[in-house]
Amino acid sequence: MHSLPAPPVPLHTMRFLLSAAVAASSAFVSAQEVRITNLAANARKQWVDIAVPQTDAASLPLLCRIDPHGFIAIKGGNVGQHSTMFHALVNIGGRQTLTGRLAAVASNPAVVPAHAASAWVTDNLPATQVMPVVLSGGQERRLGATTVREIENNQVRKVTHTRGRINGTPLVFDSWQYVYAKQDMVRVEMTFTNSDPRNGDLSFVPDAIWLETGEHLAIEYRHRLGLIQPSRQTANASHPSYGKWVQLLTPRRTMGRGESLYFTGCMLCLAQTGGATTTSYTANQVTMTLTGTERINTLTAALTAPVVGISTGWDGKWLAFGVTPEVPPAFVGTGGWASADASATSFTSLLGVAADLYVQRPRSLNRGAGTTGAQEDFGACKGAYAVTVGDPRYLWEVGYSVAEPFFRPFHYREADGTPLLQRNHLGMRTWSQLINCRTTQDCVGLTCPLPYSWPDNDWSAYDDQHRSHNNLNMLLALTGSHALRALIKDLTEIDQTQEPNRIDAPRGEGRLHMAWANMMLLLDEPTDRANLLAHMGRRVAVAQNVWLGRNFVGNAAKPVRILATGTDNTFREASTNTPVPAIIVWEHAIATMGYYAAWRVTGDTRCRDMARELSKVIVNHCIFRDTAGAWIACTAVRYLQGTQEGNALPASTYYVGSPDIHIGVSFWSWIFPAVLICRDLHSTDTALVNRCNQIVTGMGAPDSWQRSEWWAVLPR
């Protein structure tokens, strides 16, 4: 049997111990393979961010080098307890991909210069500031008082967060500016959030939103978002925008309460005086010189597309389950590159087609998150093209789709614009992130009861039974985006306002625990992790108190210990045409995945025990072998009632066409992970392990990337 070691301690603690154990291993250091791709046609010399597993980064010093190219690479900050960012100063040709390895150079901070911004940035600092403007009620509404906070400061980059309300509107504007050492472009992330507890309106309809900047701001994915190019305002000298670049972000638009708009881009800073001069950066006597022409070429490249980088050593260290998706056999011949190339080509074509801000994003949940059936973001994890194949282009592709969670209405703000904290709203109660008027004691400015519906952007809240933000997790883990960090902080706070003393359907519990397990790894603040851990603990305690199987634990005569019954509309009693009370198998498999992920990350044995019980029910009582020898996963299985509750169905009832089982849509993609988990958690039960092994052998390898990402819970 092949499986990851079961963590006897929380995964983040285990990772720390592992990092200490490998710190002296030079072989471990040499294994840090990286790949860097310039997506623009122009050559460039600039910093590229590359995330490395924290357990690996622990063995690397402050100053490294990417060999064989000799690029300077400097260790930066951490992303939660999962990744460490390295910043590499690269010289790369247009559309070029470089591979190399991250090698140790020196740990002495004195060999790395202190952060110094480019003179083209500092010669007019006000020009790098973003002024958001909202046209509403016939008036231009501008940013009011702001708070400015430096949230990251190391030798390579400084990140500054600015927040303020836009006067006369319910909108809060947040921006994050990334200033890199001696680099002429400043990366920017921005959000507009419709939330003000002093205003009970459920919708806000701005007539237009635009940005004014002193330097040219290149919005990423601009053509696809349907945005016109920015223009310099030189016609009206009395207007506040005179001499500035104006970028229209949206015409008249309806924003529902709690929704955000998210934009990213680069501020392209040119010399205010002195022309295109040469500059350089030196660390440990290694110098990269940029001529004036090279600086202009780099800015031109940034105007069209980024340079992206990735470490290729994530297997065994990837998010909550650890493993990366395997390459399906059909794609092994190219190492998965044929698929990655096809995806990148398709995305490039997509960017060439003008659309709209709110159009469905390809790597996201559906606009209506509660849509029945499979959705692209579902799975144990996402990002196979990045972390399995090793293609950094996928970061650019997912960056377009990750605007999706910002659109969803769970972004609650206080009157001063700061994010809502659950500790200040102890009476607030939500269901799937929305205020539950039936129970809440704190309406956060709303008037209950709420209407059935109200105008919004047509992107629903996360329905907890369909909740998934795997692509968000992937992008945050590999880029360290501060806007995405703020987003999962929003989720952490609103999740703590969930109805207490209740659990959801099995799939809801599974999806929530998978989400929380990853959030535990990606949250930066220990207090946030502690609060989420406590909430997870309360949730599993409730589950253990109310689940149907609790009375049968330890009773060998009653092995069917499920979380809850359900129905399938196509599984009905022949005599009455009423739904059969049933074990919904795929829902219990998702619950198994969630509890297993939560146990791996937190070490909470209650989560392990739930995963043990549910996975055993699935393997022993919801999967059978047909007369041809093929393994069949039931969609639903009759749940016995009365004195027979908890009993197993007779073996004779398992056949195609049986009135006691239902075989509908094949849910193997969602059910198979429970088999792998069962094998791992019942490793001392020889008969059960043998049954699991037979199922694994019978199923074979995943036949698609979708299955591969679902099955990435344990090695097969």
Using pLDDT thresholds of 50, 70 and 90, give the confidence band for residue 518.
very high
Which candidate, 505, 497, 536, places its Cα nearest to that of 520?
536
Residues 583, 560: Cα–Cα separation, whole Å: 9
Which candidate, 488, 400, 589, places its Cα nearest to that of 82?
488
Q: Would you say the C-alpha torsion 137, 139, 145, 146 has a positive or negative sign?
A: positive
Residues 676, 265: Cα–Cα separation, whole Å: 42
Does domain 1-109 bear CATH number 2.60.40? yes
Query: Is the model's pLDDT at 1 over the cut of 70?
Result: no
Q: Which amino acid is at 665?
A: V
pLDDT digits (tens, 9 = 90+) for 611-644: 999 999 999 999 999 999 999 999 999 999 999 9
Hey, how many other C-beta atoms are within 10 angstroms of the C-beta on 354? Answer: 11
Looking at residues 70-81, what average pLDDT do you find? 98
Find all residues with CB under 8 Å of 287, minimum gap 6, and list them: 280, 281
pLDDT digits (tens, 9 = 90+) for 557-576: 999 999 999 999 999 999 99
Domain range annotation of the chain = 1-109, 119-268, 396-710
Tokens 């945005």 -> residue: 227
- The rounded mean pLDDT for the chain is 94
Q: What pLDDT, on the 0 to 100 scale, is given for residue 11?
A: 56
Q: What pLDDT, on the 0 to 100 scale, is given for residue 379?
A: 97
Structure tokens of 681? 């958690």
pLDDT digits (tens, 9 = 90+) for 705-715: 999 999 999 99
Query: Is the model's pLDDT at 4 over the cut of 60?
Result: no
pLDDT digits (tens, 9 = 90+) for 443-482: 999 999 999 999 999 999 999 999 999 999 999 999 999 9
Find all residues with CB under 8 Å of 47, minimum gap 6, and list them: 87, 88, 89, 90, 156, 157, 180, 181, 183
Burial of 4 (0-12, 13-18, 19+ CB in 10 A): middle
The per-residue DSSP string of 486-513 comes to HHHHHHHHHHTTBPTT----HHHHHHHH
pLDDT digits (tens, 9 = 90+) for 342-368: 999 999 999 999 999 999 999 999 999
Q: What pLDDT, on the 0 to 100 scale, is given for residue 702?
A: 97
Structure tokens of 91? 């010289």
Q: What pLDDT, on the 0 to 100 scale, is given for residue 20?
A: 37
Q: What pLDDT, on the 0 to 100 scale, is given for residue 617?
A: 98
DSSP 3-state assignment of 637? strand
Q: Would you say the C-alpha torsion 245, 251, 257, 259 has a positive or negative sign?
A: negative
Looking at residues 497-526, what average pLDDT do you find? 97
Structure tokens of 633? 């996963």
Find all residues with CB under 8 Å of 54, minimum gap 6, and list them: 15, 19, 78, 81, 82, 83, 84
pLDDT digits (tens, 9 = 90+) for 135-171: 999 999 999 999 999 999 999 999 999 999 999 999 9
The single-letter DSSP state of residue 251 is S
pLDDT digits (tens, 9 = 90+) for 6-60: 444 555 444 434 333 333 333 333 358 999 999 999 999 999 999 999 999 999 9
Q: Which amino acid is at 416?
A: D
The per-residue DSSP string of 278-317 comes to -EEEEETTEEEEE-HHHHHHHHHHHHH--EEEEES--TT-
Task: Quote the radius of gyration of the chain (alpha carbons, Å).
Answer: 27
Q: What pLDDT, on the 0 to 100 scale, is given for residue 19?
A: 37
Residues 565, 636: Cα–Cα separation, whole Å: 10
Phi, psi of 611 (to 5 degrees): -65, -40
Does domain 396-710 bear CATH number 1.50.10? yes
Which candidate, 114, 97, 18, places its Cα nearest to that of 57?
18
Using pLDDT thresholds of 50, 70 and 90, give the confidence band for residue 273.
confident
